């Protein structure tokens, strides 16, 4: 006898299928080790064989400076070309102009983002430079190795400021409340920012790539 495909039966099948999908989704990430949180609704930016390290940070934040110097530098040494660090400017310190964030964003477009980030952190926290007028910028550009005319034209275009605004909107959307905040590959939030935990999570992501 042919079974009748009743509405109740169809509903039960749909429910079982839905539950099976819910049960399967976390298993896709079950091989990851360490402490992390998968962010629902955020797309993955992962590139095979590389982990994109997104750091919401404020150049004027002493914790960000320390984290950059102690943790991020060690991670770059540990993972080399399989590790790409990108800073997302997220101002939290009151009373500061956005100039340094614009400088960093413009340097990124000119291929010198990492060097500019290092010099800006050092300038603010080690040399106590708080204002970045054209005279100071000229000295910094010489140290970083950027053409002054091209750099100033880029700043004047307003694009670095727009990039800062987009980064702030992103951070607010995912509820960034403090700096530094780290997100790996666009959708893996890390709350335990110790070198050891970050190393474990990044290593497990790269190991997954090898197995896939």
Cβ proximity of 32 and 204 under 8 Å: yes
How long a stretch of residues is the chain?
Answer: 212
| Percent above pLDDT 90 for the chain | 83
Rounded distance, CA 116 to CA 101, Å?
Answer: 10
Does residue 32 lie in a domain region?
A: no
Q: How many domains does the chain have?
A: 1
pLDDT digits (tens, 9 = 90+) for 127-177: 999 999 999 999 999 999 999 999 999 999 999 999 999 999 999 999 999
Does residue 18 lie in a domain region?
A: no
Say what the pLDDT of residue 212 is: 78
Does residue 11 lie in a domain region?
A: no
Does residue 13 lie in a domain region?
A: no
CA angle 35, 39, 41 (to 5 degrees): 165
What is the residue-averaged pLDDT of the chain?
Answer: 89
pLDDT digits (tens, 9 = 90+) for 9-49: 554 445 444 433 333 333 344 578 999 999 999 999 999 99
Residues spanned by the domain of 42:
37-211
CATH classification of the domain holding 164: 3.40.30.10
Does residue 3 lie in a domain region?
A: no
| Confidence grade of residue 50 (pLDDT, cut at 50, 70, 90) | very high
Does residue 30 lie in a domain region?
A: no
Does residue 106 lie in a domain region?
A: yes
Rounded distance, CA 118 to CA 97, Å?
Answer: 19
Does residue 24 lie in a domain region?
A: no
pLDDT digits (tens, 9 = 90+) for 88-101: 999 999 999 999 99
């Amino acid at each position: 006898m042919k079974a009748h495909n009743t509405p109740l039966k169809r509903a039960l099948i749909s429910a079982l299928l839905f539950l099976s999908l819910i049960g399967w989704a976390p298993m896709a990430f079950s091989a990851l080790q360490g402490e992390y949180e998968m962010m629902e609704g955020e797309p993955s930016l992962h590139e095979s064989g590389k982990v994109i390290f997104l750091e919401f940070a404020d150049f004027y934040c002493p914790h960000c400076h320390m984290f950059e110097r102690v943790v991020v530098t060690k991670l770059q040494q540990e993972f080399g070309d399989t590790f790409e660090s990108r800073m997302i400017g997220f101002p939290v310190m009151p009373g500061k102009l956005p100039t340094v964030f614009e400088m960093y964003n413009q340097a990124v477009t000119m291929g010198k983002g990492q060097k500019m980030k290092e010099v800006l952190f050092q300038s603010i926290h080690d040399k106590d430079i708080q204002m970045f007028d054209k005279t100071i910028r000229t000295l910094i550009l010489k140290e970083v190795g950027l053409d002054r005319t091209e750099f100033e034209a880029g700043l004047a275009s307003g694009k670095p400021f727009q990039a800062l605004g987009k980064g702030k909107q992103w951070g607010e959307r995912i509820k960034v409340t403090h700096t530094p905040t780290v997100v790996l590959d666009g959708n893996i939030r890390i709350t335990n920012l110790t070198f050891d935990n970050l190393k474990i999570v990044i290593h497990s992501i790269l190991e997954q790539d090898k197995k896939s």
